[in-house]
């Protein structure tokens, strides 16, 4: 008999239960030609366990297993059962479109390509279809019993799913799931239509080099391991430490439950030769580096402290910058100066809330327009409002106002971090700016690996981002307010 991977997790938690719908879900999947492996069937039992009131026992389920082991082979039977027998509303999200489409196509292979599909493999399932709805990043199936499932990509958006209500939320590729995305998705099943909310996170070991990668997945994994409680369940395959010899096939079989099924030894052998020891251990042995899930701080505290000065430059190209927070609740006004010689300089002028509006800010900047080469405005909510009012009420020319593109913001944030490291920028040593610069972590911006600053419980990122935008503006602008003032421009 061919050797198989270990079918029981290296770590698992689920409280005891007497009843489960997992066995019926396994049988349903088997009838429709997709029989789960033993390890997948065992997880289904826990995911579909019932409490004494007949509701789902586990509202949070975490599955971590190395790549190519078949997480979809657990999720698909769970979703099919939820649709056909429970009539659930389900949201299935993935970071990448191809991952979401693969899961959708697997479901569609059972139900048929369309309503009344004469070539449907299983006519009894096809008769349940009410309609399919597909678009660029969303694939939907509605059934005649009222069940509904959506497959969506998360991307970099924090708005996905807002306004919807679901019983089951599936987070595929959870190693890339961010706090911002979680804030958008977590409330979606708080009022689950069938009274049994469940969230399933499925993923692999997050890449410690990716900005904010694994922040939610790692935190939940740690929480369940350290404080397991009723209502949560977790299944994980992995090694506790980095092995000396990743070519040890006993380790392969211990951490890859589908090895010997669809996962081939030859594939792992190839990767063991081409990958570094650390990378292979993460991808195929479920090894967690200590740095995973620990948010990176872009600015070193010691370097920032060294950049403090008590003698700001008295002259130079001056730029003001206003940054509004993502929620529109706070903002910050900063100034930067590029002197004719020596390092650039940044200072926070005012950190404010939006409770008093922005009229004072319009007046303040308008009165000083001749004293600045540029005004940079960025953020949500009032950014466009401030831009328009400076032009309409303050008479500030559009050429003196800049709304930075995403690429500009990325350049600004990386530049100030780099110039602090190289001693090319100074600041006034303000406590609030010090906290923002040294305590804020990275947040992902765009899709090309760019980053910005993320607020923490003790620091508002608006301050350092405002300072960074002013500094970038001062260092890159071709305008000079001193020259233009002398020429009467």
Confidence of residue 402 (pLDDT cuts 50, 70, 90): very high
Q: Span 301-487: which CATH code?
A: 3.30.420.240
pLDDT band for position 486 (50/70/90)?
A: very low
Does 458 have pLDDT greater than 90? Answer: no
pLDDT given at position 356? 79
Q: In the structure, how many helices (H) and strands (E) does the chain have? A: 17, 19
Where do the domains of the chain lie? 11-285, 301-487
Residue 472 pLDDT > 80, yes or no? yes
pLDDT digits (tens, 9 = 90+) for 18-75: 999 999 999 999 999 899 999 999 999 999 999 999 999 999 999 999 999 999 999 9
Q: Quick one: which H or E segment has residue 80?
A: helix 72-84
Measured CA to CA, the distance from residue 307 to residue 341 in angstroms comes to 16
Mean pLDDT of 377-392: 90
How far apart, in Å, do the first and last CA atoms of the chain sit?
A: 86
Residue 155: the pLDDT is 63
Asked if the model's pLDDT at residue 212 lies above 90, the reply is no
DSSP type of residue 67: T
| Calpha distance 138→93 (Å, rounded) | 9
pLDDT in tens, 147-162: 999 999 886 544 455 5
Q: CA nearest 286: which of 324, 251, 322?
A: 251
Q: With CA atoms as reference, report the closest residue to 180 among 386, 461, 410.
A: 461
Percent of the chain residues topping a pLDDT of 70: 94
DSSP letters, 209-254, are TSTTTTHHHHHHHHHHHHS--TTEEEEE---SS--S-TT-HHHHHH
**Is-contact 73 47, C-beta < 8 A?**
no
Query: What are the angstrom distances between the C-alpha of 23 and each of 35, 41, 78, 231?
Result: 12, 7, 11, 20
Cα(292)–Cα(289) distance, rounded to whole angstroms? Answer: 6
Helix, strand, coil tally for the chain in percent (to 5):
40, 20, 40
CATH for the stretch 11-285:
3.40.50.300
Give CA–CA dist 275/224, Å, rounded: 31
């Amino acid at each position: 008999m061919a050797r198989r991977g270990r079918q029981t997790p290296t770590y698992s938690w689920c409280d005891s239960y007497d009843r489960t719908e997992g066995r019926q879900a396994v049988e349903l999947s088997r009838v429709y030609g997709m029989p789960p492996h033993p390890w997948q069937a065992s997880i289904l039992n826990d995911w579909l366990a019932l409490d004494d009131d007949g509701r789902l026992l586990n509202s949070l389920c975490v599955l971590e297993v190395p790549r190519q082991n078949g997480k979809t082979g657990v999720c698909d039977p769970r979703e099919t059962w939820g649709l056909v027998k429970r009539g659930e509303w389900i949201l299935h999200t993935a970071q990448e479109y191809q991952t979401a489409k693969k899961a959708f196509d697997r479901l569609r292979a059972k139900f048929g390509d369309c309503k009344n599909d004469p070539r449907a493999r299983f006519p009894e399932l096809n008769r349940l279809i009410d309609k399919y709805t597909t678009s660029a990043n969303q694939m939907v199936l509605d059934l005649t019993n009222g069940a509904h499932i959506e497959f969506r990509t998360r991307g970099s958006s924090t708005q996905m799913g807002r306004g919807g209500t679901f019983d089951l939320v599936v987070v595929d590729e959870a190693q890339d799931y961010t706090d911002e995305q979680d804030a958008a998705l977590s409330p979606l099943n708080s009022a689950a239509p069938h009274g049994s909310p469940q969230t399933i996170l499925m993923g692999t070991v997050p890449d410690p080099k990716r900005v904010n990668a694994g922040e939610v997945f790692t935190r939940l994994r740690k929480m369940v391991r350290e404080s397991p409680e009723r209502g949560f369940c977790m299944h994980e395959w992995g090694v506790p430490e980095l092995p000396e010899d990743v070519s040890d096939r006993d380790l392969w079989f211990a951490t890859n439950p589908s090895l010997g099924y669809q996962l081939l030894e030859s594939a792992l052998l190839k990767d063991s030769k081409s990958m570094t020891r650390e990378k292979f251990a993460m991808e195929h042995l479920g090894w967690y580096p200590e740095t995973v899930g620990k948010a990176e701080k872009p600015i070193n505290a010691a370097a920032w402290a060294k950049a403090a000065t008590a003698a700001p430059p008295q002259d130079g190209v001056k730029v003001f910058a206003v940054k509004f927070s993502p929620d529109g609740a706070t903002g910050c006004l900063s100034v930067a100066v590029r002197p004719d010689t020596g390092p650039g300089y940044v200072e926070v002028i005012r950190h404010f809330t939006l409770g008093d509006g922005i009229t004072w800010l319009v007046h303040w900047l308008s009165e000083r327009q001749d004293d600045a080469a540029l005004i940079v405005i960025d953020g949500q909510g009032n950014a466009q409002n401030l831009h328009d009012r400076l032009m309409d009420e303050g008479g500030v020319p559009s050429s003196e106002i800049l709304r930075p593109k995403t690429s500009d913001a990325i350049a600004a944030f990386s530049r100030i971090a780099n110039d602090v490291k190289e001693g090319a920028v100074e600041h006034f040593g303000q406590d609030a700016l010090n906290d923002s610069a040294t305590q804020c972590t990275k947040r992902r911006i765009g899709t090309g690996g760019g980053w910005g600053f993320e607020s923490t419980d003790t620091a508002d990122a608006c301050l350092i981002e405002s300072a960074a935008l002013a500094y970038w503006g001062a260092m890159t602008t071709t305008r000079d307010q001193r020259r233009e003032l002398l020429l009467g421009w």
